[in-house]
Structure 1
């Protein structure tokens, strides 16, 4: 079997673009992948065009060797743009190999270790009674792991950290009191705080209020997270921005965090994700995959989640708290994973188990989209 074409589709899906990639072969078997570098899809398309030049004519079944060649074939190896492109191709290669062998992708990863994949759902409502009401609704629907967002996150222009943390801490405490101790409760600060701000936030709440704190600060400097680790006992959930196993290395080896928010569409696909999962298992770090994209990412992450022992929850963007569909309306993906209550069943079809209406994809158009460029009240730029 030989690769005959690689086709990127940067496609507008109503709220932003999504980059899906088709890999075709001379035997009529094709695979689908997805890139996770939202907002910079054109850069990933450029990387895919470079990879295409030497991948045409190669055997897509040689997944590990192709991964190494893609990574090592340039002097300036690595980086989020290149690994986002590699991720999409790696998923497509797994899809092809599963279809060629007639097995689900999890069989290529050692076989499944669970039959269904529990998820965590997100409350999008602002801090206040509405947030508590949405969380209670999710619990009634079967979710026992729920993620909150902080005060001020809904403003597309201004985010003032110190104004956020006091109000957020107050309502996190109220939410815990309202929901009880059984539910797993976390919050995503989207790396918008400094070490001092994050420490102040954690110290405003009784121990046990939160079960995980996601991305409180930026992750370029592990030492900053180590400093914060010394000031709070809340488990950290980080890693969705990491683009290789090497970025995970200091966090795993230094016991900085407890949950890996690994994104298979950015880190290098299933090939790299399985290495990070094994490394994490050796250090008793659980994986809590980042899954904000479309059905291809969801399906691939389901196979990954089924095959690793140290799995906790999968992020879902299809709960009533978010109603984020992207490609999920069925017009582009006639076959895709579907939530059953608060869980996904592990796909059983050969390959990833996703079907794409390529003609519907071709009818879509790319639109430039930017994430909010947030500023503080004094006019300075801050993190989105």
Structure 2
């Protein structure tokens, strides 16, 4: 079996799909999306394809090593995302060729269903929307996640702290004590702001606080861990085992690699295994489409230390236009009481409608997307 083609399909700046084909008719799909950087990813995949064409696709670990380490420059979100999509597609292809889901190749299922969580944002200037949170709970979710809206000062005012605590209190009252919630800070808090704010909401028992610090300050996260009883999560902007080792040693409770950025299924499975040594759990980051989600679900099925799976697709109502229209079997991603059944189909367990993908390929310049920064009153830069 030899690889004959590696094709990319750029749909938007937040959605790229990738297909690897072989001379035996076997194929696999991946999602190498790096939000806002579609064209550079497309170019990197094309260069990596020069190596892949003619190779045996079943040598997944070998190809991962060559593509991750074969160049003098390596690592980071661009290389990591291009490699991630290729890795997903190779696993999908191998599973299809053998007629088994990927989790069987990772050691088999350790659970029968996968807990998922959705986002409950929507109120300008506030942290989360109690109304949307209640709707998600009514739809069956047992966990939700919220994020602050707007910029946060290095050490913000008493008014901001009061509003933050009030918002989180209102959220807890809206969903009750039987439902979990996480708070995604998107790196907007500093160490002193985290140490001041997080103890004020400990009594509300968040499941975790995510990415309180920017990734470049990961070496400081231990001081946040030590300042609060709330579990600290991080990792959507970390891309290798080496980067995760530092935060695990600092005591984070939850690691959140993105399977479309952190080297795909191969590296993320290794990160999960590494986290188990530190008694930390896995909650993969996934703000992307159904291929990326399916890759996450395969790893979630196979690792013992799994917590919950993020999704931005409105899986509970299965409406078109959110990515599910690219599948011929969207019903396999229909949740029941806040859980997805383990995917049992071969490879990723989903079936791509290739005609639908080709029909959506972008032919015009891509929209740049929303800026991920703020301008404070003095017109300087502030973290999104």
TM-score (norm 2): 0.90
Residue deviations 1:339-358 (CA, integer Å, cap 9, x gap): 22311111111111222232
CA distance in 2 between partners of 1:300 and 1:160 (Å): 34
What's the RMSD between the two structures over aligned residues? Answer: 2.3
Q: 5+ residue gaps in structure 1?
A: 154-158
Q: How does 1:56-71 map to 2 (within 5 A)?
A: 56-71=53-68
Whether the 8 Å contact between 1:121 and 1:321 is mirrored in structure 2 is no
Secondary structure at the aligned position of 2:29 is classed as strand
Match of residue 240 from structure 1 = 236
Q: What does residue range 138-287 of structure 1 map to in structure 2 within 5 Å?
A: 138-150=136-148, 152-153=149-150, 159-161=151-153, 162=156, 164-255=160-251, 257-287=252-282
2:35 matched residue in structure 1: 38
- The one-character-per-residue Cα deviations of 1:80-127 (angstroms, maximum 9, x if unpaired) are 111111100000000110111111111111111111111112212327
SS at match of 1:275: helix
Distance 1:302-1:329 versus aligned 2 partners, 3 A rule: closer
- Counterpart mapping for 1:292-303 below 5 A: 292-303=287-298
**Out of 49, 54, 69, which is 2:51 matched to?**
54
Whole-angstrom distance in 1 between the partners of 2:142 and 2:308:
10
Q: Does 1:100 align with 2:94?
A: no
Does the CA contact (< 8 Å) of 1:299 and 1:352 recur in 2? yes
Rate the CA distance shift 1:318–1:165 in 2: closer, same or farther, 3 A.
farther
| SS of corresponding position for 2:367 | coil
Quickly say closer, same or farther: Cα 1:130–1:211, change in 2 above 3 A: closer
- The number of residues matched between the two structures is 373
Displacement after TM superposition at 1:200 (Å): 2.3
Q: C-alpha deviations, 1:260-284, integer Å up to 9, x for none?
A: 1121111101111111111111111
| CA 1:382–1:212: 2 relative to 1, 3 Å | same
CA distance in 1, matches of 2:82, 2:202: 43
Q: Counterpart of 1:314?
A: 309
* Distance in 2 separating the partners of 1:242 and 1:196: 22
Equivalent position to 1:289, from 276, 284, 292:
284
Q: Tell me how far apart the structure 2 counterparts of residues 324 and 261 of structure 1 sit (CA, whole Å).
A: 27
Corresponding position: 1:135 with 2:133: yes
Deviation at 1:327, TM superposition (A): 4.7
Separation (CA, whole Å) in 2 of partners of 1:129 and 1:92: 37
Residue deviations 1:132-177, cap 9 Å, x none? Answer: 2322222222222121222x34xxxxx2443654312211123224
Unaligned runs of 5+ in 2: none
Aligned to 1:35, the other structure's residue is in SS state: coil
Displacement over 6 Å in runs of 4+: 127-130, 320-325
